[in-house]
Amino acid sequence: MRKVAEEIIKAKFCIALTGAGISTESGIPDFRSKDGLWSRYDINEYGYLHSFLKNPAKVWKMLAEMAELFEKVKPNPAHYALAELEKLGLLKAVITQNIDGLHQEAGNKKVIEFHGSFNTLTCLNCGKKYSKEKIDLKNLPPRCSCNGILKPDIVFFGEPIPTKALNEALELANKSDLILVIGTSCAVYPAAALPIIVKRKGGKIIEINREESELSYLADYKLLGKAGEILPKVVEEVKKLMKNRLQKIQ
């Protein structure tokens, strides 16, 4: 952890890539886990854009369950640790595959939501946007004032990554000399390509996961375990090193 802390301090441009694993400790099951949504809802019936367009009322039953879950959860120590790294000026941005908004709630200012967000919804008819707080989920599917169907601004399977998010993420990866990969198996592209871009440009990869992933063979450092336990300890090491260096200068 001390070596990882040294790398974070030494880096000129450090970013983080996060996945479902950072939010499981907040009480959000990984979609693919035994308790995840795909264990109860067939991904082919509920996870694809064409499924939503064909039968929005059906898919909204699952989405309403997600919305209710997101209302209850709070950021965990891993989210707060990343926010602290940003406040210290050591983390330039978080690129997340999550749609729960917990990074922003913890205090991160620069967050690229690769798969969109559940915090806003868009009318498929007129394009009007709504915040999730203004949506009544008692009558499904929720509708716009024009009577159009509302869709959460999340990326379904069969739907492209938002162009702005993709371009920003690629730009950040090309600038970076260090990437923290946290709670993601790096099995899904194009997000999985971001650490590879950093590595190819001579940067380093720090992986923080419960178990080894498809990226592990490329990682310069692997810290295996719960992100909520590991990241706060890494931040403490960072602060100790910064304090020691300041004392030496004085």
Residues recognised as catalytic? 115
Residue 58, both tokens: 């059906």
Contact 162, 191 (CB under 8 A): no
Residue 104, both tokens: 């922003």
Contact 61, 140 (CB under 8 A): yes
Residue 135, both tokens: 């949506």
